[in-house]
Amino acid sequence: MKKAFNFSLFKNTVDGITFNKSKDEKVRADYNGNGSERDGAEKIQIIGIKALSQGGKQYIRLVFIDRNGLDNEYHNAALFLNEKKDGEKQPDYTGSIDLDRDGNERLRLAAWLKNSDRAGRYLSVSVSEFLPKEGDPAAAGAEGAEGGVPGTPVPAGAPEDDEIPF
């Protein structure tokens, strides 16, 4: 998968776009987006749902589907509210993408809440090389926020709509 690209994540309006919460459970995706053609990432589809961590924190659970090869590659990711944001240039949400099942190889996610006349509210997301920072939930594989280990599925609840603003 590409190591750096941008995409926009929109509220899903298509019933046919589903998210596999587990091997046996599919739900309608809350969010969808695609990598940017400008970045050469147009074959990467991103879908997501609102979820609750074991610790009760709301986050956006994502899957990246890389359709560049003969077989699709799937990568799990999560975006958490940036509770330490203190300026407009800092992202509203941060997180990471696991590139392997152990969570040892990851990419960083930084997302800004935007608004447009045509699309309404959406997230503008930047994917980049992962440089862990102390105190960042994504730095610990979201262990502090999810209460688990990277790559471990976390049961998701049905969070309140007002906690994630779109």
Cα–Cα distance, 13 to 158 (Å, whole number): 18
* 46 vs 69, residue with greater confidence: 46
Mean pLDDT score of the chain, rounded to an integer? Answer: 83
Whether 155 is covered by a domain: the verdict is: no
**What percentage of residues in the chain have a pLDDT greater than 90?**
55
The sign of the CA dihedral 62, 80, 104, 151 is negative
For residue 118, the enclosing domain spans 5-146
Position 160 pLDDT exceeds 60: no
| pLDDT classification of 3: cutoffs 50, 70, 90 | confident
Contacts of 44 (CB under 8 A, 6+ apart): 1, 2, 5, 7, 34, 35, 64, 65, 66, 67, 68
Residue 127 lies in a domain: yes
Banded model confidence at residue 131, pLDDT cuts 50, 70, 90: confident
Task: Count CB atoms within 10 A of the CB of residue 105.
Answer: 12
Domain assignment present for 49: yes
Give the pLDDT mean for 80-88.
Answer: 93
Q: Give the number of domains in the chain.
A: 1
Reading the block at residue 130, the tokens are 């992962």
Whether 61 maps to a domain, the answer reads yes
Asked whether residue 142 is assigned to any structural domain, the reply reads: yes
**Distance from C-alpha of 8 to C-alpha of 112, rounded to nearest angstrom:** 10
22, pLDDT greater than 70: yes
Distance, in Å, from the CA atom of 72 to the CA atom of 159, rounded to the nearest integer, reads: 30
CA distances from 49 to 46, 59, 158 (A): 11, 9, 10
User: Is residue 15 in some structural domain?
Assistant: yes
The answer on pLDDT for 138 being more than 60 is: no
Q: What is the mean pLDDT of residues 36-43?
A: 82
> Does 160 reside within a domain?
no
Report yes or no on 9 lying in a domain. Answer: yes
pLDDT of residue 86: 92
